[in-house]
Amino acid sequence: MKKITLQSEIEVAKSIAELSEIDAQLLATAKEAAKGAYAPYSNFKVGAAVLMDNEAIVIGNNQENAAFPVTMCGERNAVFSAAAQYPNIAIKAVAITIISAKGNIDRPIPPCGSCRQVIYENETRHQSDIRLILQGDIGEIYVVQSVKDILPLLFDASYL
């Protein structure tokens, strides 16, 4: 059978010092947001900060529930809240980071599949790519220019 290759490219920063000023600020805001997460079951606090096209910044964090599947991810809360507050404004970037119980996760936190799909819906809604800035507790930071780069073979309204 014929094979196809799905390719993507992301930037890797060694630390916050290598980021643009706005991305560094966004990541610091996301880290602050993680402190307010409600994660008593996983002890895995996720913080997100959304940068809007009007320069507003909207935060979100994960909110867990004793009925586990009811839990909502931090980045999805941030994106939905941003869309609720500014329905006609595009999102320029989302920074996502963690404060984990281990405290030493040195790989950037990737958004879960559902969150990627939600972020992609927002890209198509406003016809505007969303930059993702991803960080673990510590270590390297990934900068992704569009969620399309980490969501290959994606489903969208063009199939409906």
69 vs 87, which CB is nearer to ligand THU?
69
Q: Is 11 a catalytic residue?
A: no
Contact with ligand THU (CB under 6 A): which of 19, 23, 62, 122?
62
DSSP 3-state of 85:
helix
In terms of Cα–Cα distance, which of 95, 98, 46, 97 is closest to 72? 46
Residue 73, interface with ligand THU (CB under 6 A)? yes
Contacts of 115 by beta carbon, 8 Å cutoff, 6+ apart: 73, 75, 76, 79
Window 6-35: residues binding ligand THU (CB under 6 A): none
DSSP 3-state of 56:
coil
Residue 150, interface with ligand THU (CB under 6 A)? no
44 vs 120, which CB is nearer to ligand THU?
44
By CB neighbour count within 10 A (0-12 exposed, 13-18 middle, 19+ buried), where does 152 fall? exposed
Catalytic residue among 11, 55, 75, 140: 75
Contact with ligand THU (CB under 6 A): which of 46, 94, 133, 143?
46
Task: For the chain, give the longest Cα–Cα distance.
Answer: 50
Residue 123, interface with ligand THU (CB under 6 A)? no
Residue 49, interface with ligand THU (CB under 6 A)? no
